[in-house]
Structure 1
Amino acid sequence: MSFDIPDNRQYMESHEWALEDDGVVRVGITDFAQDELGDVVFVELPDEGDALEQETEFGVIESIKAVSDLYAPVSGEVVSINEELFDAPELVNDDPFGDGWMLEIDADNADELEELLSAAEYEDQIA
Structure 2
Amino acid sequence: MNVTTNPRVELAGVHTAGCKNVTPVLNRVGDKWSMLIVMALSGGSMRFNELKRAIDGISQRMLTRSLRGLERDGLVSRTVTPSIPPRVDYELTELGESLRQPVKALGDWAIEHIECIRAAQERYDAAEADAQ
What is the TM-score with the length of structure 2 in the denominator? 0.20
Pick the structure with greater CA Rg.
2
Determine which structure has greater relative contact order: mean sequence separation of CA pairs < 8 Å that are 6+ residues apart, divided by chain length.
Answer: 1
What is the TM-score with the length of structure 1 in the denominator? 0.21
Q: Report which of the two has the higher share of strand.
A: 1
Q: Report which of the two has the higher share of helix.
A: 2
